[in-house]
Structure 1
């Protein structure tokens, strides 16, 4: 699917879509709790209260750049804590090309953070070695984020993720370590949203008076807009992640800003009492 924000086109390419199976990441979001939020149906949950989530990339095409935001899980990876994410053989690159973006046309790879499902297609296997998938692109990693995982990568699955999907980009000289004040052209700026990870960043697109917000994993699912205190089990600092949700959603609620989640379809944030909900955008 593709959306237009001023002179910017935003397209999603889904690697994996799933309904249900989210208890490991959001244990609070039981089917019973989800059914208490009828606005989630049908775009963000089914009638039985099973949440819908995607592993997906967003391609942001501005007048001067073709940017892929987050790069999913990737093929042929190993050492992942989710067994089904090991040894994938998905047609992601074909789907990317079918959407109008062959890998060689991408000039910027921007990772909101460096978790397993946001960096996988940074690299692909070439003659048994991990090489940059997007050969003509600069890869933008948050400096705080990169330095954290460079120091903590031996923890859990992060060692494998860092070694096969992050470090090869640095070794190839394709990485730029950036601050949260970084800009890409006239349209793309960053917003520091720590909590899910120490250097997590969200992305603001502004063009011809219109705006889009790419949240990354500030919220894994729109149910967290209604329950700001529901922090993901993957959050490195659950308290900070709550504060980032409050800050970000308060800033963009009840505005025309189109909000693109890291794992869900876009919509508009509206206030709902002391919290928020997401109104799905027309497809």
Structure 2
């Protein structure tokens, strides 16, 4: 991971950062409600958060409850228009009340950032969880159709094979029916083999395996002119996990592997100028990882 300098910039008003000649846009969907933090990361108690003052006010509220958000990242790389993850989606029946039947202006924000749905070439799905695949599709009458009809949708073959082989509960089957199977049935889904060292899917776009949260989860590395950024997916949900890499999510499929992945990734980023872009980090969202004692700290970009 290379040395780089990053500056927030946005010709449209949407949050964005420069990485070499790239501009990485954050496309907001929704701020997640306060109860999300205690549910998702139950070990991040107010007492634990209080021991890390730099988490407030951006990453934790006045009650020391974690702040979390749902958003995508969009970037144009060598003419290829890439979207990383697609959030929760509108009008979808979900077991989680905070995700059920949303009605956000996500598509308008995406378009404002310069990525109207029909112009997107590539959608990278870091993993196949409900809050990362929802805008894969939109409702058209009584059907769910691809939101990005001219794009290829990519996910890791390991991820697909895992979900194809497990007995899913009904809420997850519903998510696959409305947000995953329609893109497969439209012939738009591509499965990618991601070896231990990662794989390039386009010039300047590389998938890195980050297993644990799910078996086939990937992070996305962007690079341009010696500068780099890394989009986390859910290998890191929140900056509190920089301080406590052992802190796991309630929905990690392999908790020990998730913690090991997190430590290895943070060690590789620590002290570099690679920009870390958290898939659920609230604003300011992006920063650099620096060592602090036996763990790490995020310095916002």
State the TM-score, normalized to the length of structure 2.
0.90
The equivalent of 2:70 in structure 1 is 55
Cα distance between partner residues in 1 of 2:286 and 2:49:
19
**Superimposed CA distance per residue, residues 164-219 of structure 1 (whole angstroms, 9 cap, x where no aligned partner):** 11111111000100022432322011110100001000011111010101111111
Confirm whether residue 120 of structure 1 aligns to residue 140 of structure 2: no
Cα distance between partner residues in 1 of 2:292 and 2:189:
41
Q: 1:156 to 1:280 in 2, by over 3 A?
A: farther
Structure 2 gap segments, 5+ residues each: 1-14
The equivalent of 2:90 in structure 1 is 75
The equivalent of 1:267 in structure 2 is 287
The equivalent of 2:186 in structure 1 is 172
Cα distance between partner residues in 2 of 1:203 and 1:34:
28
Cα distance between partner residues in 2 of 1:124 and 1:84:
19
What's the Cα RMSD here? 1.3
The equivalent of 1:2 in structure 2 is 16
Deviation beyond 6 Å, 4+ runs, structure 1: none
Q: Give 1:195-274 correspondences, 5 Å limit.
A: 195-264=212-281, 265-274=285-294
Structure 1 gap segments, 5+ residues each: none
Cα distance between partner residues in 2 of 1:268 and 1:96:
25
**Superimposed CA distance per residue, residues 128-182 of structure 1 (whole angstroms, 9 cap, x where no aligned partner):** 1111000110000111101111222623521111111111111100010002243
Cα distance between partner residues in 1 of 2:88 and 2:241:
23
| 2:44 match: secondary structure | coil
| 1:90 match: secondary structure | coil
Larger RCO of the pair (alpha carbons < 8 Å, separation 6+) = 2
Confirm whether residue 141 of structure 1 aligns to residue 158 of structure 2: no
Cα distance between partner residues in 2 of 1:74 and 1:19:
16
Pick aligned residue for 1:29 from 38, 44, 54:
44
Cα distance between partner residues in 1 of 2:117 and 2:111:
7
Report if the CA contact (8 A) 2:245-2:259 is conserved: yes
Report if the CA contact (8 A) 2:199-2:208 is conserved: no
Cα distance between partner residues in 2 of 1:156 and 1:50:
30
**Superimposed CA distance per residue, residues 227-282 of structure 1 (whole angstroms, 9 cap, x where no aligned partner):** 1111100100000000100111100111000000110101101111221111111x
| 1:204 match: secondary structure | strand
Moved more, 138-147 or 173-182: 173-182
Report if the CA contact (8 A) 2:86-2:135 is conserved: yes
Report if the CA contact (8 A) 1:153-1:159 is conserved: no
State the TM-score, normalized to the length of structure 1.
0.96
